[in-house]
Structure 1
């Protein structure tokens, strides 16, 4: 019976994770193609900043409210509905490219619509995992999930670069719709338990959002690490928008070189995910979390110091691989800690709140970084973000690591 039970959670988890991976491959190819099209057509950090703002704005505005509904509704229903919504948005936008050359702002619009679907999808998936996976296996399961997602991010940009060179954008957008259908089907065939809930007639949004916030604030170590990370993300988050410009404008490289940057980042994520998945459990997660933040800050700083010569591009790609590995070294134990310590009936709200606060760092960071990168170059912001993240990691480590940790 024990073996059968173990096989069941693995089968159910990997079925859903496999479908999400297929969907992410299509999404990554589409995301790369749209962003590269916008970067090469405009060459403007301001336009890239606006696109990034639209992508994160739905999470910023609606995230806490979405978390209330995630904790009220069946998580399986939320996941499927969000997947299909994102796929249909890509399908509709494909017709814009089929019948003409849409304006630049339309890319910002479709990124915002996709972001609206992710507002519900991401916390629902994260809250569903501990309902399927035994608590002691959460690091392992998140490692497997991040490995498959990293593979999607690795394959997606390469596929996107190949498709961008050979196919019109409207065909590329259809791959996102096809992936959403696959992801929805795999979720549909798995039974996802829901936590016991206190039935309420109507949502009391602010009261219920406050309960989600309390789940984070009551854990001192979690609160300190989360606060330090969010402050660091104000500087670090805009970098995801500036990778294409580092390749195209700073190093004067092409789309294939840009795909190699994404390839290296995803490869680093995969390697780290494999190693953490092999460990299975990490009792004291906070030293590992801080080591990941340290790697992110160091890599960003070094990227900002590279000369603008093509020979240094490959050093930049290698540092991006270290960035990817470091991000998973932080992210996997951090998510596992949340899933282990937060009550299941509050988990959707907690993840949505963190997602919203994280999203707030993107527009705030872009408002600061955009003018600086426009006038002084994107490499300077890599340097600034690295210094800021290292300082905040040091403060967090001094406050958290001396404490005896139980998780």
Structure 2
């Protein structure tokens, strides 16, 4: 593989960077608009579920087609479809039609587009970068996502203050166009696929089974998936409750909530930068396990500390962001190294689906559970479970044998 892969990644990253920031800004602007116009936590929860549930449901099916289709074209059409859905929302606002049902439907359709784009993007990386550079590439991807996490909400808040919601939505369309144009300037090779005929329902089911067997054939990867599922079920409800912990326990307001969100993004930026600059010599599985332990400890301590220790909470949030960033990048790299390139699309789709379901469970149940046992105790319990999972992982021989 020649050195041209760096130039290709630079072009792709530039387009994705603009697209991620614009999408983050628009998503945050929609949250602000719904909060101001509807003033209902239930409305926000349904909007979040609409934006995530389709990915969880059709993710494995989308992965089958991602592995059979041209991945560059898949990303282009997925970006275009998401932009089209955003345009429909924007036009409806211009016409004064502000139906919640329409917003839910468009958010769901945007999610469908994302369910094809994310696995296509992740499964394209091993086809462009040398295996020795995959962890560093994942680190840089984390940097891009972290910057969008930091800058997106700030841009969204500014935009919704200066523009109408219909005009703010146009930012997402501009970002999608930039991402599509950047992809036109690069060639992304596709892996050799034995079967390229049109996928019938039976063939789709068969391909999903093949993707599942690709995971289970490697005991180490199977255990990594299993532990990740358990950890995600604990992490996602905690993530949903961060604003409530900030308000109810630490007595914070909008500024404090924004500060916590920004600190998490800064932590992710630092974590991604560390992987982008340095090339760790230790096993990526050891890194994953250690990051789970650190992340769990930060959650538990956040629920344990006094309400007067808000600064300590801010620091813990930043450390948690670092751990989450390094964990995600290392996990992604292990999959890219262990799974055959022609199987990566469906495997990543399964992973994204598995990761989204706990988010939905957290959104539906976090309010009820936190009212029953208290937000602080929920942070302590779930954080302890995440740390325990990281410790147990060290005592799983097949997992520790992975590089």
Partner of 2:224: 225
The answer for the alignment partner of 2:278 in structure 1 is: 279
The one of 139, 148, 151 aligned to 2:147: 151
| C-alpha deviation, 1:376, in angstroms | 5.6
1:398 aligned counterpart, secondary structure: coil
Higher mean displacement: 47-56 or 201-210: 47-56
Please name the residue that 1:327 is paired with. Answer: 324
TM-score normalised by L of structure 1: 0.90
Moved more, 110-119 or 325-334: 110-119
Matched, 1:372 2:369: yes
Question: Structure 1 stretch 324-333 or stretch 72-81: which is displaced more?
Answer: 324-333
Contact 1:95 1:170 in 2 (8 A): yes
Verify: 1:35 aligned to 2:35, yes or no.
Answer: no
CA contact (8 A) 2:33 2:165 kept: no
Do residues 162 (structure 1) and 162 (structure 2) align?
no
Report how far residue 181 of structure 1 moved: 0.6
2:394 counterpart SS class: helix
1:185-334 correspondence runs (5 A): 185-203=181-199, 204-247=203-246, 251=250, 253-280=252-279, 282=281, 284-307=283-306, 312-334=309-331
**TM-score, scaled relative to structure 2:** 0.90
Candidates 165, 179, 185, aligned match of 1:183:
179
Q: Offset at 1:390?
A: 1.9
1:22, CA displacement in angstroms? 0.7
Pick from 109, 123, 126 the counterpart of residue 119 of structure 2. Answer: 123
Corresponding residue number in structure 1 for 2:71: 75
Counterpart selection for 1:336 from 333, 337, 350: 333
Match of 2:109 in 1: 113
Moved more, 322-331 or 158-167: 158-167
Structure 1 unpaired stretches of 5+: none
Q: CA deviation at 1:43?
A: 6.0
Q: 1:386 aligns with which of 370, 383, 390?
A: 383
- The Cα offsets for residues 148-180 of structure 1, whole Å up to 9 and x where unpaired, read as 221121111121222233333222211111111
Q: Is the 8 A contact 1:57 1:359 kept in 2?
A: yes
Q: In the aligned structure 1, how far is the partner of 2:252 from the partner of 2:180?
A: 38
Change (3 A) 1:46 1:73: same
Task: Rate the CA distance shift 1:38–1:241 in 2: closer, same or farther, 3 A.
Answer: farther
Secondary structure, in 3 states, of the residue corresponding to 1:238?
Answer: helix
Deviations 1:62-96 (A, max 9, x none): 01110010000000011111112222222221233
Distance 1:110 1:282 in 2: 45
Length, aligned pairs only: 400
Displacement after TM superposition at 1:240 (Å): 3.5
- 8 A contact 2:16–2:179 mirrored in 1: yes
Q: Which whole-Å CA distance do the structure 1 matches of 2:99 and 2:243 have between them?
A: 20
Report the more deviating stretch, 314-323 or 239-248: 239-248
- CA 1:281/1:307 → structure 2, altered by over 3 Å: closer, same or farther? closer
Greater mean deviation of Cα atoms: 130-139 or 225-234: 225-234
Give yes or no for contact 1:39–1:245 (8 Å, CA) kept in 2: no
What is the deviation of 1:136? 0.7
Residue 358 of structure 1 corresponds to which residue in structure 2?
355
Residue 140 of structure 1 corresponds to which residue in structure 2? 136
The alpha-carbon distance between structure 1 residues 250 and 288, as it changes in their structure 2 partners (threshold 3 A), is same
Runs (5+) with no aligned partner, structure 2: none
Please point out which of 94, 101, 121 is paired with 1:98: 94
- In structure 2, relative to structure 1, the CA distance for the partners of 1:375 and 1:95 (3 Å cut) is farther
Residue of structure 2 in register with 1:89 after alignment: 85
Indicate how the Cα distance of structure 1 residues 318 and 93 shifts in structure 2: closer, same or farther if over 3 A, else same.
farther
> How far apart are residue 39 of structure 1 and its match?
4.5
Q: Name the CA shift for 1:394/1:368 in 2 (closer, same or farther; >3 Å).
A: farther
Query: Partners of 1:90 and 1:343 in 2: how far apart?
Result: 35
- How far apart, CA to CA, are the structure 2 residues paired with 1:278 and 1:44? 43
Distance 2:309 2:36 in 1: 21
In structure 2, relative to structure 1, the CA distance for the partners of 1:358 and 1:22 (3 Å cut) is: same
Mapped contact 1:45–1:374 kept (Cα < 8 A): no
